[in-house]
Amino acid sequence: MSTIGFIGLGIMGLPMSKNLLKAGHKLIVCDLNKVAVEELKQAGAEVGESPRDVASRADIIITMLPNSPQVKTVVLGKNGVIEGAKKGSIVVDMSSIAPLVSREVSVALAEKGIRMLDAPVSGGQPKAIDGTLSIMVGGEQADFDEIVPIFKAMGSSAVLTGAIGAGNVTKLANQIIVAVNIAAVSEALVMATKAGVDPELVFKAIRGGLAGSTVLDAKAPLMLDRKFNPGFRINLHIKDLANVLETTIRSVSRCHYLLPLWRYCRRSRWTAWASSTMERLSGSTRSSPR
Ligand code: NAD
């Protein structure tokens, strides 16, 4: 069994780290939220003083943080992972962040002989609890093969989709599909209700057809029961879409092709709002894309 450092014990990180404990791994944890740290301590984890301390006591360091700036701070900042990690150890960043930042962080780690995989997840809190997440990975094949047993404790599938950053590119593709799907399901059920048809019957009628989807099956029953408890913070959803825009902007400048979603966002009022959010969340000072 491995000695694993786990940094970021939020909605996702808390159940993921508990599953690693259940699988028999030794865990050293750290988070700004002392309540979450105490919960993990009670479950059997050791507590690290800082990301540096966690990294110095582990061979594998997993991060599950909100976005790119937090990953940069925790991994590369003062008292960060890079200051404590041993040569040959491996950082597995499971946060959903900008692919370019994954590449940037991996280059800085490589200079110290530290390996990295980017391994964001899909499935939300229920699948994090069940240990059935879908894990999308970028990095070297040998590093991926080494971490597969760890992924198995947290997910039902782990697929290497390319070099470092490819995991987060895959996650962004996932988020485009999920975000558009959630919006479509919401609008469809509201439209049916306003037009006088029972939305529950609409759901039953369409779920086996072409409109059927995992999002429809997961979200429609909650909407019908008027249960709107958040499982994913809306600012994280906005962050993912802002990362889609940022990645698209950088990619389209190379291939001169505008994705329809990007074209729509550019034309809509949402652009200004998304651009400013993107800049705020990524810490970028770049002006709005044209
Ligand atoms: P969260 O906000 O609940 O948890 C993030 C944790 O990171 C918090 O406990 C916070 O205290 C900690 N943290 C932040 N900065 C820190 C620092 N400098 N040092 C130590 N700890 C720090 O977020 P979450 O919902 O668990 O999501 C984590 C990541 O997983 C995000 O990138 C998100 O987009 C992604 N994700 C979330 C879901 C979901 O349904 N919640 C699903 C798939 C992927």
Residue-wise pLDDT for 27-69, tens only, equals 999 999 999 999 999 999 999 999 999 999 999 999 999 999 9
| CA nearest neighbour of 15 among 145, 152, 171, 131 | 131
Q: How far apart are CA 164 and CA 65, in angstroms?
A: 18
State if residue 246 touches ligand 1 by the CB under 6 angstroms criterion.
no
Catalytic residue among 171, 204, 227, 239: 171
pLDDT at 269 over 80: no
- Residues 115, 145 contacting (CB under 8 angstroms): no
Query: What's the pLDDT tens digit per position in 104-118?
Result: 999 999 999 999 999
State if residue 117 touches ligand 1 by the CB under 6 angstroms criterion.
no
CA of 66 to the centre of ligand 1 (A): 4
State if residue 8 touches ligand 1 by the CB under 6 angstroms criterion.
yes
CA of 39 to the centre of ligand 1 (A): 16
pLDDT bin (cut points 50, 70, 90) of residue 23 is: very high
The b/e string for 37-75 (b: 16+ C-beta within 10 A; e otherwise) is: bebbeeeebebbebbbbbbbbbbbbbbbbbbbbbbbebb
pLDDT bin (cut points 50, 70, 90) of residue 189 is: very high
pLDDT bin (cut points 50, 70, 90) of residue 287 is: very low
State if residue 66 touches ligand 1 by the CB under 6 angstroms criterion.
yes
pTM listed for this prediction: 0.87
Q: Whose CA is nearest to atom 31 of ligand 1?
A: 66
Q: How far is CA 210 from the centre of its chain?
A: 28
Whether residue 26 lies in the annotated active site: no
CA of 36 to the centre of ligand 1 (A): 12
Whole-number pLDDT of residue 242: 85
For residues 115-142, average pLDDT: 97
Query: What's the pLDDT tens digit per position in 211-249?
Result: 999 999 999 999 999 998 877 778 888 888 888 888 887
